[in-house]
């Protein structure tokens, strides 16, 4: 059991995170997110969350980590790379976001987080804490920015100088006292490629109107997709990576080394004809443990028809 200085304890936690396979580990003080409160309230009041009603709940918990973990002192931010070593072919094909190539990241990363927290408790000191990976009211990008992981870019995503934006963000909120890091500068400069390249004009500087975003339409929206965005999907049927593909910082993206994030062989053999004839049995085989299951078979069929400018099929 380590009973040394806060600085030493913090470095030990960071070393453990590296050994667990995380690409970055930074610390923030667990305190109310004062600067984020007003922008979040304005974003919600403007209806930019679309039909994502869950975004409207737990407002205070999104801003105050001590409401999630009573007595919390530290927010440990962790990044995990998902940039694929091999791209699914794009020619004559529909596209899914790179984060969904392999197994559902919630399951993969949460398992690693729990193991890391257990090791911290065993070797650093008894600590109350909870792990989070995009499944609770946690403002992950704000905490990542505060920890020095990167800066929030004009496309609202976390950008890193060393590897771009293809990272999952995860947190451990704990009552363990650790030494906080500080934020880094914004390196977007005058670049507006993400804004200029968004087919649905969902991006304004440092903010995304989710109700106009292709990812929202293809994943979150359970109703029919509005006709006014017909022909603007550029063949995306689950998520969208356009604002990441055009970002200059992603020229530094490095392939991940996570076997669970490798796409199944069948995905590399898909083309538009195969997507359009996809039946439910084939869908289940392709996406058995995938985040794509969030859209469900009928939702993915809807997206394929919409992206391909076809009338919805009748069952």
Catalytic residues: 134
DSSP, collapsed to helix, strand or coil, labels residue 216 as helix
279 touches 222 (CB < 8 A): no
For the chain, count helices (H), then strands (E): 11, 10
42 touches 91 (CB < 8 A): no
6 touches 58 (CB < 8 A): no
Residue indicated by tokens 């993969």: 108
Please say whether the dihedral angle defined by the alpha carbons of residues 184, 189, 195 and 196, taken in this order, is positive or negative: negative
- Please give the span between the terminal C-alpha atoms of the chain, in angstroms, as a whole number: 62
Task: Tell which residue, 152, 148, 151, has the closest CA to residue 182.
Answer: 148
- d(CA 264, CA 131) in angstroms, rounded, equals 28
Bridge partner list, 151: 159
Task: Tell which residue, 57, 58, 64, has the closest CA to residue 36.
Answer: 64
Bridge partner list, 159: 151
Report residue 294 as tokens.
């969030």
What one-character-per-residue DSSP string does 252-310 give?
A: G------GGGSPPGGGGG--HHHHHT--HHHHHHHTTTSGGGGGHHHHHHHHHHHHTT-
């Amino acid at each position: 059991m380590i009973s040394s200085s806060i600085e030493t304890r913090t470095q030990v936690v960071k070393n453990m995170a590296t050994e667990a396979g995380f690409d970055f580990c930074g610390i923030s003080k667990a305190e109310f997110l004062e600067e984020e409160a007003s922008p979040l309230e304005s974003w919600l009041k403007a209806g930019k969350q679309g039909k994502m009603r869950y975004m409207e709940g737990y407002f205070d918990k999104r801003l105050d980590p001590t409401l999630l973990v009573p007595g919390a002192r530290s927010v440990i931010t962790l990044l995990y790379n998902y940039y694929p070593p091999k791209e699914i072919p794009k020619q004559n094909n529909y596209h899914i976001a790179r984060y969904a190539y392999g197994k559902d990241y919630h399951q993969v990363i949460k398992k690693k987080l729990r193991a890391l927290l257990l090791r911290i408790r065993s070797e650093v000191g008894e600590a109350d804490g909870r792990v989070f990976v995009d499944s609770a009211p946690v403002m992950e990008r704000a905490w990542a920015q505060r920890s020095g992981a990167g800066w929030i870019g004009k496309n609202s995503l976390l950008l890193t100088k060393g590897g771009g934006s293809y990272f999952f963000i995860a947190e451990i909120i704990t009552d363990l006292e650790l030494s906080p890091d500080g934020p880094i500068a914004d390196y977007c400069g005058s670049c507006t490629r993400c804004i200029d390249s968004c087919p649905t004009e969902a991006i304004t500087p440092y903010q995304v109107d989710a109700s106009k975003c292709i990812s929202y339409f293809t994943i979150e929206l359970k109703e029919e997709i509005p006709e006014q965005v017909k022909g603007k999907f550029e063949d995306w049927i689950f998520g969208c990576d356009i604002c990441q593909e055009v970002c200059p910082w992603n020229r530094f993206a490095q392939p991940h080394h996570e076997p669970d994030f490798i796409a199944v062989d069948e995905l590399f053999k898909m083309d538009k004809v195969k997507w359009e004839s996809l039946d439910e049995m084939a869908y289940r085989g392709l996406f058995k443990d995938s985040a794509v299951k969030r859209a469900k078979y009928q939702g993915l069929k809807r997206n394929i028809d919409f992206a391909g400018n076809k009338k919805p099929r009748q069952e």
